[in-house]
Amino acid sequence: MQHTETISHIQQGSLAHVLRTFTISLLVSFLGTLVGAMFIPRSLVMMFVVIEVVMLIAAFVMRMRGKTISYTFLYVFTAVTGVTLFPVIETYGGLLGAKVVSGAFLATTVIFGGLALYAARSKRDFSFLGGFLMAATLGLIVMGLVSIFVSFGSATVLVWSMVGILIFSGWVLYDISQYRQGIHAEEVPMAALNLYLNFINLFIYILRLLAAIFSGRD
């Protein structure tokens, strides 16, 4: 009995460590957003976008090869992402207003927190979602690339945004369920990165959904 309690404590501690690291990543990203707002000229934002994409690809390749990232990599990436997020937030702020954007962030926090809590406490195994979520995410990426060259109507963006919200909500359930049994200490930065990307993408798709709704009323 004592042995079981010790294992349970280690497992819960591992998930708690991931969530703490994820929270720190959000704070670092917020600081990056402030830096982007106050010190980074618009002409340099694209350079940070390139750095962000290169680091994201590097993290993906490392994950596919079974390797891990460092805490330094994680926090540098989230800081860079914060810089690139500022123009996005500023744009939606101009379209929707600061209060709506703040509300979208609060909604993201509530949705993410609720899903994470459910996945952490639930006995359900969400690993069956993995293949579907990966294929659906690739579909979202293709849709994003197409949107660069093709202008979608508000109805299409509305559906696209709702699908995006569902997909990244699914990723939250999947990832938390993978971590609730405990992970190796060196895997914590990669796990926190996964949760960070889930949160940020969920936030962006909620903003897109609200923008599509507001534009449809015009």
Q: What rounded mean pLDDT belongs to the chain?
A: 91
**What is the DSSP annotation of 84-147?**
HHHHHHHHHHHHH-HHHHHHHHHHHHHHHHHHHHHHHH-----GGGHHHHHHHHHHHHHHHHHH
Compute how many other C-beta atoms are within 10 angstroms of the C-beta atom of residue 183: 17
Query: What is the distance between the alpha carbons of residues 193 and 60, in angstroms, rounded to a whole number?
Result: 11
What integer is the mean pLDDT of 73-84? 98
pLDDT of residue 151: 86
pLDDT digit string (tens) for 92-113? 999 999 999 999 999 999 999 9
Q: Token digits for 33? A: 């957003």
Query: What is the distance between the alpha carbons of residues 150 and 2, in angstroms, rounded to a whole number?
Result: 61
Task: Check: CB of residue 144 under 8 Å from CB of residue 94.
Answer: no
What integer is the mean pLDDT of 160-172? 97
Instruction: Label residue 216 by pLDDT band (50, 70, 90).
Output: low
Count structural domains, the chain.
Answer: 1
Is 70 exceeded by the pLDDT of residue 197?
Answer: yes
pLDDT of residue 27: 98
pLDDT of residue 137: 95
Is 50 exceeded by the pLDDT of residue 154?
Answer: yes
pLDDT of residue 217: 59
List the one residue out of 134, 119, 121, 137 whose CA is nearest residue 174: 119
The parent domain of residue 58 ranges over 2-217
Task: Check: CB of residue 172 under 8 Å from CB of residue 195.
Answer: yes
Instruction: Label residue 66 by pLDDT band (50, 70, 90).
Output: confident
Looking at the chain, list the stretches that DSSP marks H as alpha helix, in order from N- to C-terminal side.
2-38, 42-64, 71-96, 98-121, 130-149, 154-179, 188-217
Is 60 exceeded by the pLDDT of residue 1?
Answer: no
Task: Check: CB of residue 165 under 8 Å from CB of residue 205.
Answer: yes
pLDDT of residue 208: 95
Contacting residues for 88 by C-beta, under 8 A, at least 6 apart: 204, 207
Is 90 exceeded by the pLDDT of residue 123?
Answer: no
Instruction: Label residue 6 by pLDDT band (50, 70, 90).
Output: very low
